[in-house]
Structures are given as structure tokens and as C-alpha cells.
A and B are shown apart, each in its own frame.
Chain A
Amino acid sequence: MANTPMLAEMMKTHGISRRAFMKYCASLTSLMALSPALAPRVAEALENAPRPSVIWLSFQECTGCTEAITRSHAPTIEDLIFNAVSLDYHHTLQAASGHAAEEAREHAMKQHYGKYILIVDGSIPIKDPGYSCIAGISNLDMLKETAAGAAAIVSVGTCAAYGGVGHADPNPTGAVAVSEIIKDKPIINVPGCPPIPVVMTGVLAHFLSFGIPELDELGRPKAFYGNSIHDRCYRRPFYDKGQFAEGFDDEGAREGWCLYKLGCKGPTTKSACATVKWNNGVSFPIEAGHPCLGCTEPDFWDNGGFYKPLSVPAGDYRDAGLAAVAGGAALGAASALLAKAGKTKAAQAHETVDAHDLEKSS
């Protein structure tokens, strides 16, 4: 895989017509929220892009991200993109194993030093290196070593982007996100548990065509994470009308009303789920009748219960808040007791007034 054939040549060998390729580029362009005029540029960039070397590192993860990016879309054109990049190292997908596998990584790193793309899924344990090792190398060391020569890093999935389930309270392994360790490389976060496949390939296509996409404050490409699910949800009109499902088997649920009260995190979750959808655009969780879990947001595991409405407070500040409330209540109760004592005394001191003693004696 060391040779670098152009993408256009690869297409020909895969029997993809020029027309199909342009169609793909146009849809990719719109997906990335770019001007339609840029579609030819996307095509040009992709056509002339040399197959960049890609190293995919999997740390504390569940392989869900890989499952998503590979299985659900084969054999579509997205597959081609992955054939088009030189995927030089990927645990799950590569045929090589053991020393041969590690050799492939080291070789790719040496040959494309400073140019390869590093994709990471999974969080990195920093409490004890023994929690997760590959070929006797701790995740932390492997990340540092591989990142050093990368042109850019793509953190795929919420674990790599924000720590994910490994980072969830009580975080026994001391799991952290890639961005906690690597500070000197551009990092694109593509969170989701897993991310939408077409979003993953889209981000890669953008990187190949135009370089690093515009990112939001959480390091996510704005093109895919610019809107909240709530803003684009087809159930939004029910929210606006105040029509909510209160249970999973009530009338509201059957009528397809808003799932806010069942814990939907759509209002605080930015992702393209409601527009791009899943399984080749078939549907997305809310369409299947389940509230959004908010998986593209940091610490979504610890954000209260999945089935608790957003309006119910969650998190550590609950304890601080409870203490403050208790303190305030005690102070208030003491004050109220004094006030009540004053009022009771006043009631006891009440002298019934008669119309004839309304005047002052003087």
C-alpha cells in the first residue's frame, strides 16, 4: 500500500463513472454546507488527491465507530474513499497481526512523516498504562509517538473526542480525550456514539479538498455539528405546541409527539442526525420513537438519566446546590420562626376594636 495512485485512477479500476463521482461530490458539498459552486473543486481536489496515508489507532473503545464507518455503507461510494486513502494501519481491518502489523505502522510513519492523517477512536487511560496496551506499548505512548508525525488528527467517536464512556463517572482508568494529551497538532473532533458514517467520510473528504474544516468551540466541524437536533427535528412542531409524550406507550407516543419529557436531549445536542439520518438516510433515533441521548456532547453519560427531562438538574452541582438550599432553608426557617413568633405575639395582643374606640384618647 506504499504506492500513491491518484483517486481518479482508483475510480476507474472500481468501475465508478465520472457522472456518479460528480453526483457524489455535489451531495458531499451540500452535506458540508458549502456553496454548490464548490462541487467541481471538491471533485478536482478528490481527483487530484494522492492517496494519503491514514493510520487508525483504536484505544479504549468498543469498535462501534469502526462498525459504523465500514459495515453500514458498503458498497457505496464512501467505501471508495476508504479504498482511496491508504489505510496503512487499522486493528480491526488489517490482515496483518503482531509484529507485522506494528511494522506496517512504523513504516508508514517513517515514509509519510509529517503528512499522514491520524485517526483515533477510543479514550486513553492515564491512571495506569497497564489498563490498555497494544503490542506491549501503552495507549499513551503509542498516541504520543504516532501523533508526532501526523499532519492532523481526527478524533472519531465521543471517546476519542471527549473521553466518552471510559471518562464517565467514576472514570476508573483515568480515561481522557486525545485533545487532553496532544496540544500541538490540529485536531478535528467527530463525536457521536458512533458518529454518522457519512459525517466521518465527509470530514475526511473536506480535509482532502480544503484542509481543516471550520470548527466550533468543541472542535467539531460546523458543517455537521452547527445545528441542534431539536432545531431540525420533525417533531419540533409538537414541542412548540406543548404536545408531549409522557410515556413510551401513551397516546402522545403513538401520535408521535415531542419526546422532551421522556428525556430527549435534542435541544442541547448538536448533530446532523435529524437531517442526514442513519442507515443510508432511513431514520434516526427520535424517528424510531426514542429520545436523543445527546451522544455528540461531552459527558453525555453523566448528564442525568437518559430518561430524565433536560429541565431536571443533574451533575455534581446538585450536591452543592442541595447544601446551599439546605443552608438557605435553615436560615430562612430560623428567620421565619422569629417572624412567626412576632406574628403570633401580635395575634395574642389583639384587642377587639369597637367602633367607639377608634379615636385617640388625648
Chain B
Amino acid sequence: MSATIDRGLNALREQIDSPVASFFSSCVSCGLCAEACIFYRATEDPKYTPIKKLDLMRRVWAREFTLFGRIGGMLGLIKPVTDEDLTEWETLVYDSCTMCGRCSLVCPVGNDITMMIRKMREGMSAAGHAPVELIGAAQRHTDKGSPMGDLSKAIHAQVKHAIDETGIEIEFDKEGVDYMVILSAQEIAEFPDVLSAMARIFKKTGVTWTISSEAFEATNVGIQLGNRDVAKVLVSRVVEAAEKLKVKGIISPECGHAYQALRWEGPNLIGRTYPFEVVHIIELLDRLRAEGKLKTKGKNTDRLTFHDPCQINRRGGINQEPRNLMNMVSEDFVEMESGGTMNWCCGGGGGVGANERAEKLRHAAFKFKKIQIDKVEPDAIVTMCAYCHHTLDNVFEEFDIEQDVIGLTELVAEYLDDDA
């Protein structure tokens, strides 16, 4: 079995449902989505208009699901979608969209364009038109447990390091605790300090937790790839591990699409609800703050701003929580223009960051993003997504700019009141 155009078109047909039909029917071609898209704004090339990226799916819908389209198709007015079409659209669907969700928010008729891009990727990936980097990551994730390969040794080493550093015990596979923590590969490889931060905060606030040695990977390449079969396999691993450990909840780490995959797509992928809650780490920290369990001492005096990860804020609903925490630990917290739900994407999400072909576009997007950052001239940018963190670090380095980026969990842990 291999990827073919027929399999791709069939996958697209499976994705066309009543919301898609009503979205396509109600699009008034106003072009407002273009103005909302970081890739259009960065390049001003009209082909990056979000709804245009969905043209092939619109054609399949019109030709096969509408009366007039069917007649038009018979008369040869609407051409069938070919493999060449898919090749042409591949860069639009994968390189110029981080599925940041800004276009969905501005659409005057309420079309969820981002959701349709996600659906269109189903067809593209099934037809063999996904970027090679994502396919490779999906294979590694399926076979070895993580998109970066086998990180079992790495996670054990990082946990040991955190135990040594904090003197707090972290147990793997401990049944019946409050939460099972999962981590993104990015955190394990690049920002392992978050483990010590969590250990200290949870110790102080009385939260019990564990890590599953079978399913510690939070990311889900299936979501970025746009393939529900792959995504289902990966999300099932986490769900099954949590059920086995009989935890009350899973803590989704500072990773955008991991939250999207487990919290929002997961139940639909596996076709049932979870017997546990999924909570984002920042959501949990703010809850502990509100309950009076999380106490801090002192404040950071630097000029700090907050970068909202698209999948956690705009598409995930966590907006006020990080701000509560920022105000708790920062003396000079400044909001960026369009900060919050309309924040501009880092440019690396939705698989774009892993896609080498998209580098030029990514850099163009960053130049646009940088205008937003420069207006507040922060000493450091705080965020709650390891991949935003990674992307921003990389582009700043690429352009030789000195700019600190900090994870919010680590920042909070830094000001944890040890005497309370």
C-alpha cells in the first residue's frame, strides 16, 4: 500500500462534511483572511490568501457534492483535481500555513479556514504530498516513540539530572498520582530545565505526579502532517498510558500542537471521551495560584513581554491564565500590540518549522513578527510553548539578534517562595 492520488482524493471526500459545505457555500471572497495571514502580510503575494490554499478541496466539494457543480463537472467546466494540482498546492498547504487560526477569527461569515486546512492536509498526506521531513518524523515517532527518534535514554538522563539538581524525587510509572506529565521532544532535547521547575512547583503546591516510561512524548506529528490514522496511533499511546496509571489528569506541557492534539482532537480521533482531565501546565499553575497554593516571592525587574502560542491561546482558549502568572512574577510586563488572542505566530508551528523548503518563507514571516516585538523593545520574551521558544531562538540567532526567550513555567519556578 502506498500513497496515491486516488487515496488522497478519497481522504478529501471523507473530510467534506456539513461544516465544510456551509463554509464553502458562505465564503464571499472578501479577502479579509489574507490580511490576517502572517505569510500574506510578510510577502504580500495573493497566492497566500488562506482561502485560496483550500481551492483544491473546494473543487472536490463543488464537483462531487453540489448539484450545479456536478452538472458543471459533466460539462467540463470544473476540472477534476490531478496529481499535478496537488504538487502545486503542497507548498501552499504545508509551507505557508502554521494553522495559527488567525484567518478563522477574522472571517466575517465565520468560516473556520484553519480547520479546513487541517482537513485538506488529510488529502495531501494520503496522496503522498506531505513534506519529507514530516513523513520522516512520523515514522520515527511511530517506530521509536518520538519524532526525534528514541528519547527513552534522554528522558531518564534528564529526570536524573533534575533529581540531582533539586533533590526532589521524580518517579516513573507511579500509579494513582494526580497527574501524568508528558513532555515535548523539544523540551527533552533543548529545554530540560522545565523538569526541575515542575518538580519544585509541584512539591511546594502538593501536586503528585509521574512520567510514563512508555508514553512521555507529548507531540503528535499526525496533527501537523494532517493524518488522523497516524495521529490516532500516537494519541492512543498517551491515553492508554494514563488509563494504566489511573491518574486524575494529564498535564499537557509547554507545547502548542501537543495541547491541540490531546485536548481538542484526541477524543474525536479515538472516538470516546477520556476518563481523566487534560490540563495545560499554565492552566494548572494559574489554578494553583487562584487556590492560594502557588506563592511567589519577589518579581523580575526586566521589561518582559508575552508571546501567545497560537494553539494554546487562540485555538486553545488559554488567554488570561499566563497573564495572571506574568503579573505575579514580573514588575515590568508589557503587552505587544495584537497580543493575546490575535497574536502573530512565531512562524514555525504546524510543521513549518521542520520543513526546510519553507525556510525563506519562515524568515519573511519572522521579519514581520519582529516589527511587533520591536515596538515594545523587551529585555526578554516569555512564552508557554517550547516550539515557539525554539523557533524564536533560532531566528534571532539566524539574524544575529540578542534576545532572550524564557519559558513561563521556569520563570514562575524562579520566583517560587521557598519559605511559604
Contact = CB atoms under 8 A, between A and B. Distances in A.
Instruction: Give the interface residue-count category, chain A.
Output: 20 to 34
B135 A358 contact: yes
A100 interface: no
Given A338-B70, A342-B64, A343-B65, 4 more contacts: A343-B17, A346-B14, A356-B139, A360-B4
B3 A357 contact: yes
Contact of A352 (B64, B127, B229): B229
B4 A353 contact: no
Contact of B229 (A346, A349, A354): A354
B357 interface: no
Given A353-B126, A354-B142, A355-B139, A360 B11 contact: no
Contacts of A361: 2-4
Helix, strand, loop or mixed for chain B's interface? helix
Interface in B1-43: 1-4, 7, 10-11, 13-14, 16-17, 21
Interface in B333-350: none
B14 A350 contact: yes
B230 to A, nearest CB: 5
A226 B348 CA distance: 63
A249 interface: no
B64 A339 contact: yes
A346 B13 contact: yes
Contact of A349 (B10, B127, B233): B10
A356 B65 CA distance: 31
B65 A342 contact: yes
Contacts of A360: 2-4, 127-128
A353 to B, nearest CB: 4
Interface centre among A331, A342, A350, A355 (most CB of B within 10 A): A355
A343 B13 contact: yes
B35 to A, nearest CB: 33
Given A350-B10, A355-B142, A357-B2, A335 B67 contact: yes
Interface string B205-237: 000000000000000010001010110010000
12 contacts: A335-B66, A339-B21, A342-B65, A343-B16, A350-B14, A353-B126, A353-B230, A354-B229, A356-B142, A358-B230, A359-B135, A361-B4
A355 B141 contact: yes
Nearest to A342: B64
Interface in A336-352: 338-339, 342-343, 345-347, 349-352
Interface in A283-304: none
Contacts of A350: 10-11, 14
Nearest to B122: A353
B182 to A, nearest CB: 19
Nearest to A332: B67
B130 interface: yes
Interface in B81-136: 125-128, 130, 132, 135
Contacts of A358: 3, 125, 128, 130, 135, 138-139, 225, 227, 230
Nearest to A352: B229
A347 to B, nearest CB: 6
Contacts of B13: 342-343, 345-346
Given A342-B64, A350-B10, A355 B2 contact: no
B19 to A, nearest CB: 13
B10 A359 contact: no
A342 B128 CA distance: 22
Contact of B227 (A331, A345, A353): A353
Contacts of A357: 1-3
A361 B7 CA distance: 13
A15 to B, nearest CB: 71
A359 B142 contact: no
A288 to B, nearest CB: 44
B229 A359 contact: no
Given A351-B1, A361-B2, A331 B230 contact: no
A335 B143 CA distance: 44
A319 B126 CA distance: 49
B121 to A, nearest CB: 11
A350 B141 CA distance: 23
Contact of B14 (A335, A339, A343, A359): A343
Interface string A11-43: 000000000000000000000000000000000
Contacts of B143: 355
B50 to A, nearest CB: 24
A354 B230 contact: yes
Given A342-B13, A343-B13, A350-B11, A359 B128 contact: yes
B230 A359 contact: no
Nearest to B17: A343
B70 to A, nearest CB: 8
Nearest to A358: B135
A131 B70 CA distance: 61
Contacts of A356: 139, 142
B3 A359 contact: yes
A262 B227 CA distance: 53
Contacts of A338: 70
